Amino acid sequence: MMREITGEIVLVTGGAGFIGSNIIAKLLNQNNKVVCLDNYSTGKPENIESFRDHPSFQMIEGDIRNIEDCRKAVDGVAIVLHQAALGSVPRSIKDPITTNDVNVGGFLNMLVAARDAGVKRLVYAASSSTYGDSEVMPKVEDKIGKPLSPYAITKYVDELYADVFGKLYGMELIGLRYFNVFGPRQDPDGAYAAVIPKFVSTLIAHESPVVNGDGSFSRDFTYVANVVQANELAATVETPEAVNTVYNVACGQRTSLNELIDHLKKLLSQFDSSIADIRVEYGPERQGDVPHSLASVEKARKLLGYHPEFEVGDGLKEAIQWYWENLSARARNTKDISS
């Protein structure tokens, strides 16, 4: 039986974000009290709208860069699931200072606040970008390369801070290196949108998706339910050797961007047959991009009991209805406004 968080007071930082809001939805269904800390810099109020009237949900609008906001959020909390971060490799290249302030300074604030409040367990979102220029395939946790972006540096620094805090202060900290997460509530807008919702919204609008490079770059795309599972397993594991370390969270499957678009066109064609004929455009490779990413999930499987419930194709089938309902409505509204 899969371990779940039940009957706890849990803080989810970045809870109005894509991953955080999916975590909150599950926790509230499992008799937990959930505190959400978010400043809406990348999260969206609509992601938590359905929780606002829930008697076990508390929203704190605040910023992890403010230590007092962090202290307020951890008060009385048993478990912290730290999802708050400023994502995106391109954004970090454009603005490394803000990325560092949020991802390193904000993370350090959360560690200090959790330490002082006596939080039992803190699970934090790490990143596959930490593997950098390592050519080892599949990626295993103890073999990383040099970072290729400011974002990657910040996420690696978080791991170093967590390691030190665990040793110095006896804290229980677990990092989860996410690999290209996708699913409901994921934002398709803006220059730094994740590739799957961006491709989907483009196809729904009958426009050609633009691929950086020739489409051969590949990723270990991971459905968000697998990430929620990993957070719960990390928060509840009791084996000492499983704590104060990092884990890959992925499917353990590699999908090229060309294969991904083929998947999406086929699934979306169920709703609109003309999408099958949309052509793909190819542009220059994006600075800081890692050509290929594939995770080994053996460590998480062995120590956490992690078994990804959804493979890539299954996850896309689960997500496509949400994408269609939400992104097609957005496309229609945009068209109405511009006409």
Backbone angles phi, psi at 67, to 5 degrees: -60, -30
332 — pLDDT class (breaks 50, 70, 90): low
Q: How confident is the model at residue 338 (pLDDT cuts 50, 70, 90)?
A: very low
Q: Which of 124, 131, 151, 223 is catalytic?
A: 151
Residues 104, 206: Cα–Cα separation, whole Å: 40
Identify the pLDDT of residue 2. Answer: 79
Mean pLDDT, residues 11-26 taken together: 97
For the cut 60, the answer to whether the pLDDT of residue 37 exceeds it is yes
Question: Taking 90 as the threshold, does the pLDDT of residue 236 lie above it?
Answer: yes
Q: Would you place residue 177 in the very low, low, confident or very high pLDDT band (cuts 50, 70, 90)?
A: very high
Average pLDDT estimate for 309-334: 81
| Cα→Cα distances 143→133, 147, 161, 230, Å | 11, 12, 18, 21
Q: How confident is the model at residue 337 (pLDDT cuts 50, 70, 90)?
A: very low
Q: Fill in the DSSP letter of residue 96.
A: H
So what's the pLDDT on residue 250? 95
End-to-end CA distance of the chain: 54
pLDDT tops 70 at residue 95? yes
What gap in Å lies between CA 2 and CA 167, rounded to an integer? 29
Domains of the chain: 9-180+224-252+292-308 (3.40.50.720), 181-219+255-288+312-339 (3.90.25.10)
Angle between helices 195-204 and 312-338 (to 10 degrees): 50
Helix or strand run (H / E) with residue 92: helix 89-94
Q: At what angle do helices 18-28 and 224-236 cross, to 10 degrees?
A: 60
Mean pLDDT score across all residues of the chain:
92
pLDDT of 328 reads 72
Lowest mean pLDDT among 63-72, 104-113, 289-298: 289-298
Q: For 109-134, give the DSSP string.
A: HHHHHHHHHT-SEEEEEEEGGGGTT-
Task: Please give the average per-residue pLDDT across 223-251, as a whole number.
Answer: 97
Q: Are 280 and 209 in contact (CB under 8 A)?
A: yes
Q: Is 151 a catalytic residue?
A: yes
Lowest mean pLDDT among 47-61, 91-105, 318-332: 318-332
Residue 296's φ and ψ, nearest 5 degrees, are -90, 130
> What distance in Å separates the CA atoms of residue 268 and residue 205, rounded to the nearest whole number?
11
Structure tokens at 168: 């110095």
pTM score:
0.92
Most confident of 19-23, 206-210, 285-289: 19-23
Q: Which residue has the higher pLDDT, 157 or 136?
A: 157
- Of residues 293 and 306, the one with the higher pLDDT is 306
Q: Are 202 and 208 within 8 A, CB to CB?
A: yes
Residue 339 — very low, low, confident or very high, per pLDDT cuts 50/70/90? very low
Encode 2-18: b = buried (16+ Cβ within 10 Å), e = exposed. Answer: eebbeebbbbbbbbbbb
Inter-CA distances, 46 with 15, 52, 79, 156, 319, Å: 11, 10, 25, 31, 18
Cα Dmax for the chain: 61
